[in-house]
Amino acid sequence: MKIGKVELESNILLAPMAGVTDKAFRMIVKPFGPALMYTEMVSGKGLFYKSKKTADLLTADESEKPVAVQIFGHDADIMAEIANSALEYGAAVIDINMGCPAPKIVNNGDGCALMKSPETAAKVISAVCRAVDVPVTVKFRAGWDDKRINAVEFAKIAEQSGASAVTVHGRTREQFYSGTADLDIIKAVKAAVKIPVIGNGDIIDGGSAAHMLEYTCCDGIMVGRAAEGNPWIFKEISAYLKDGTVLPLPDLDERREVALKHLGLLVEFKGEHRGVLEGRKHMAWYFKGVSGGAVLRTALNKAQKYDEMCGLINEFCDFKLNKLI
């Protein structure tokens, strides 16, 4: 798959997810095969006003590349300036978030709110495209609500404004993440524009990935929430798309190994206190669906130290594995 001048090894991408796709998460996921990974969404104003917290979101390891930086905002001039600043961090692609449904984002006129203001969206996209020499992509939804489904028109505006590709999540803002993604919307967008279209929403395994590609004729797929605690999904999808192979689920030892490595990276990059706090949700995701996992999650949510969390995970896994002997 090719986005502008960026040639990717496959058409399987990791979605940007606030509070999830940080440097540690991306370093864990990368060996499993996503062709392009996205940072957490970065505030245009935050970077413009030199917020260290915002700048930290852009830090990437050489092993992750290529990495796309996702920015959000509605001020065209500020967005152009911070897109250019993002290049200093090695961004191979600049992605503009016009699909985030969170109230604190849309109430400020950002994210999916821009789908209600296509003229403003066009100005932002055009300004960013003029400001950088890397491909610019736009991520948006089916529309604001069932009465305002405008993904096709919005995709055309993005294309006319200079975007090199678009990603369409098949839900409206009103849906947030409830219900199911409307693949017909993604299919209609693909038929309406010439630039690559990336399908997003409800891709949870190889079969759903294949269905997205076959039904919508989209050029690529973007995996989001299904990758939480499950980096193996990228290998699973790749194998299925290649020849229909269904890979076995990771065993408990595999889950433990990757989970502990992930926790170690969080502590290394963010310090013990913050790393442990943020690590709680990730560790819970790794053991979701495992018998007794809820008990482990409760214990992890009380842990304050790195060694304590490691001990809880090892004790849980050793107990489960010994029961199988």
Residues with active-site annotation? 100
Structure tokens at 294: 């809820």
C-alpha span between 316 and 270 (Å, rounded) = 25
Structure tokens at 170: 């098949």
Determine the distance from the C-alpha atom of residue 104 to the mean position of all C-alpha atoms in its chain, rounded to a whole number: 19
Partners of residue 43 on adjacent β-strands: 72
Closest CA to 62 of 20, 94, 14, 30: 30
Q: How far is CA 307 from CA 103, 304, 323, in A?
A: 37, 9, 24
235 contacts 32 by C-beta, under 8 angstroms? yes
Closest CA to 237 of 252, 225, 221: 221
Q: What angle do CA 172, 178, 182 make, to 5 degrees?
A: 50
C-alpha span between 145 and 127 (Å, rounded) = 27
Determine the distance from the C-alpha atom of residue 43 to the mean position of all C-alpha atoms in its chain, rounded to a whole number: 16
C-alpha span between 116 and 110 (Å, rounded) = 10
C-alpha span between 62 and 17 (Å, rounded) = 20
207 φ, ψ (degrees, to nearest 5): -65, -45
Helix (H, G, I), strand (E, B) or coil at 51: coil
How many Cα neighbours within 13 Å face the side chain of 1?
Answer: 20
Closest CA to 302 of 270, 280, 272, 274: 280
C-alpha span between 9 and 30 (Å, rounded) = 12
